[in-house]
Chain A
């Protein structure tokens, strides 16, 4: 049996950890609320914009823009969005497992360029033989606009000049507090196969100005806002995951503490009983000696 002093020390140390997890939960909750509100506000745009871009361009049999051009995939870019910090449950590991599987499947067929976002993803690719030309980490949450702009520009350029034929993005999409949805999205090209005219029954549109200019205008913003979308969704799920993980940790600590306190009390009681018995025995002995 452990000594009482050891038990007390242990309880104190668990209490300290609990205070830390409690504080981290509070911070995560505040961050979560902030980014969640933002995600909800921006979703109408994020959802409407690509849908519109794709549906409008469906009216053309031929690709009217390079982004719409289906290509044979020889070289692909894989963007992986994780968090910088841990302590958020299985948030990163689930996603990285999915990425691993995907890379295993693809690596014999295509040339892969990796673009990790967040420290966990950077570390994941550190010991692997993939080309990493760009990476983003440290305070990603403060630099979303900057990263979106830079990455969007880079990917567009690579795609235009046929350095890559497709861009895949892996990220956690925010679904609910309980669990994020692991998501793989293809950013470019927008369509995987050529649209066959006649398959689509859509009315003739009037275009003002002409279609190619308008689609050009629309798609100019496409990559930027999509990347921004992925980054914010990932942020929201990260904070939610951390909030849940810390909540669980705090609760576990509470349970542990109450178990230990029970044990402590039992032991203390046992030692008191033992001492009482000893005193009583001594008193009895003295009385029999007739003192």
Chain B
């Protein structure tokens, strides 16, 4: 897909305690287990584990932002990105 006329991505970052972030973004980078993954509109459906690091995103308005996470999971489908993070009850 041509990024020039691509739509936006819908990004949601959710932890067990709260919805940390919900935004329309034009691009996102997430800390994958083997290094950062860049996600643009039109990305292939993907499920990936996440390492500790920062989610870096560019809002539709052009502003950028970051969010620290401690690992988790990302799923991408139809330009919807859901990040689950902060789960720590391993039993």
Contacts and interface: CB of A to CB of B under 8 A. Distances in A.
B1 interface: no
Interface stretch (A14-22, A164-172, A217-225, A265-273): A217-225
Given A206-B44, A217-B73, A42 B90 contact: no
Contact of A205 (B17, B34, B47, B82): B47
Contacts, number: 83
B82 A52 contact: yes
Contact of B91 (A204, A211, A224): A224
Given A49-B84, A206-B45, A224-B91, A44 B14 contact: yes
B88 to A, nearest CB: 8
A202 B32 CA distance: 23
Interface string B17-55: 111000000000000111001000000111111000000
A224 B89 CA distance: 7
Residue of A45, A218, A228 with most partner-chain B CB within 10 A: A45
A277 to B, nearest CB: 75
Interface string B51-85: 00000000000000000000001010100001010
Interface string A220-241: 1100110010000000000000
Contacts of B18: 41-42, 44-45
Contact of A208 (B14, B19, B32, B89): B32
Interface in A40-71: 41-42, 44-45, 48-49, 52, 56
Contacts of B44: 203, 206
Nearest to B71: A217
B8 to A, nearest CB: 20
A224 B86 CA distance: 13
Interface string A225-269: 100100000000000000000000000000000000000000000
Contacts of B33: 208-209
A204 B32 contact: no
Interface of A: 41-42, 44-45, 48-49, 52, 56, 148-149, 152-153, 156, 202-209, 211, 213-214, 217-218, 220-221, 224-225, 228
Interface of B: 12, 14-19, 32-34, 37, 44-49, 73, 75, 77, 82, 84, 87, 89-91
16 contacts: A41-B18, A48-B12, A49-B14, A52-B84, A149-B91, A152-B89, A153-B91, A156-B91, A202-B45, A205-B77, A207-B47, A208-B48, A214-B48, A220-B91, A221-B90, A225-B87
